[in-house]
A = this chain, B = another copy of it.
Amino acid sequence: MKLVSTWADARASTVDRGTVGLVPTMGFLHEAHTALFDAAVAANDVTIATVFVNPLQFNNVDDFVAYPRNLDRDLDIADAAGIDTVFAPSEGEMYPTDMSTTVSTGAVATRMEGEYRPGHFDGVATVVAKLFAGLRPDTAYFGKKDAQQLAVVRTMARDLSLPVDVVGCSTLREPDGLALSSRNVRLDPARRSEATALSRGLQAAADLVAEGVVDAAALVGVVRTELDRAGVSPEYVELADQAGAMPISSVDRPCFLAVAAWIGEVRLIDNIHIDIIAGLPVPDRGVTLSSRSVLYGGS
């Protein structure tokens, strides 16, 4: 595996080498990233992962500073997964000092995360547009855990005519249901237990969907009840369509039921995607690990 830090070297590592799979990450990799790597390696001639903690997408500077980093370990994980190249640019390599142009995400980014993290998705869309434009992948892999981000990135690629197929991969979960996230390491044991209310609520809603319930208010209600029970007050619980990330009142198209909440000092999000297969709503509950994530320990 090759580590590169410049656009020129990153481009050289993918050009004229067949189909290119890209996995953009902010590093501090865990099993959910490994699952993205596996999907990319399986389907492409050459793969490139990026490790870049993107300052543009942090609306909160404390969160940017606190975001965990460990490049050496990231390289070991990417290498073990069979990734061909890791592109880990400096901030100066990613953004010109007199950067003027940015990507504006528009309607798809106004609700949910867009409402609570102003500017966040413009930052995401800008850095991902650059990676799509500069590295020209055929396919890029993102986690479904960031459901609205997936919608934003797909919409961005379509609207800016970037010919990249954007694949969403199922959420990975700890044995107790908590969705894997690099931020989980910042939860102390008590908060860690409180945090499981998010996935418990979503799984209860998925049970309802499996029983034929399609009403958004009913699904949102069961999530809110579970959060209340744990003393967690969410920023939002919303049923939104996968294409436009806009609120819908019924499970009548591909959608996701999403929640965001502060657990102590850590802001967590989780969701369950619901696809329509053969006319029936099918929830994607995610993949539950049989034992605690080894990559960031848990505890």
Q: Is the CB of B100 within 8 A of A101?
A: no
Q: Which residues of B contact A160 (CB under 8 A)?
A: 101, 103, 126, 129-130, 133
Option from B96, B102, B158 in Cβ contact (under 8 Å) with A96: B158
CB distance from A62 to the nearest CB of B (A): 26
Option from B7, B98, B106 in Cβ contact (under 8 Å) with A102: B106
Residue-wise, chain A 1-34 has the 8 Å CB interface mask toward B (1 for contact) of 0000001000100000000000000000000000
Is A108 in the interface zone, CB < 8 Å from B?
yes
Q: Which residues of B contact A136 (CB under 8 A)?
A: 136
CB distance from A240 to the nearest CB of B (A): 14
Q: Which residues of B contact A96 (CB under 8 A)?
A: 158-159
In the bound assembly, the distance between CA atoms of A161 and B126 in angstroms comes to 10
Residue-wise, chain A 132-153 has the 8 Å CB interface mask toward B (1 for contact) of 1110100000000000000000
In the complex formed, the residue of B with least CB distance to A151 is: B100
5 example contacts (A-B, Cβ-Cβ < 8 A) are as follows: A99-B106, A101-B108, A102-B103, A130-B160, A136-B136
Number of copies: 2
CB distance from A267 to the nearest CB of B (A): 24
Is A269 in the interface zone, CB < 8 Å from B?
no
Option from B100, B102, B131, B161 in Cβ contact (under 8 Å) with A133: B161
> What class of interface size applies to chain A in its complex with B?
35 or more
In the bound assembly, the distance between CA atoms of A101 and B7 in angstroms comes to 24
Q: Is the CB of A163 within 8 A of B11?
A: yes
In the bound assembly, the distance between CA atoms of A163 and B96 in angstroms comes to 15
Given A98-B243, A134-B161; 20 other pairs, CB 8 A cutoff: A7-B161, A98-B107, A98-B244, A100-B107, A100-B109, A100-B159, A100-B244, A101-B105, A101-B108, A101-B125, A101-B156, A101-B158, A103-B104, A103-B160, A104-B104, A104-B122, A131-B161, A133-B160, A133-B161, A136-B136
Residue-wise, chain A 148-186 has the 8 Å CB interface mask toward B (1 for contact) of 000000011011111100000000000000000000000
In the complex formed, the residue of B with least CB distance to A131 is: B161
In the complex formed, the residue of B with least CB distance to A101 is: B159
Q: Is the CB of A103 within 8 A of B100?
A: no
Q: Is the CB of A155 within 8 A of B106?
A: no
Option from B101, B108, B109, B131 in Cβ contact (under 8 Å) with A103: B101
Q: Which residues of B contact A161 (CB under 8 A)?
A: 7, 129-131, 133-134
Q: Which residues of B contact A108 (CB under 8 A)?
A: 100-101
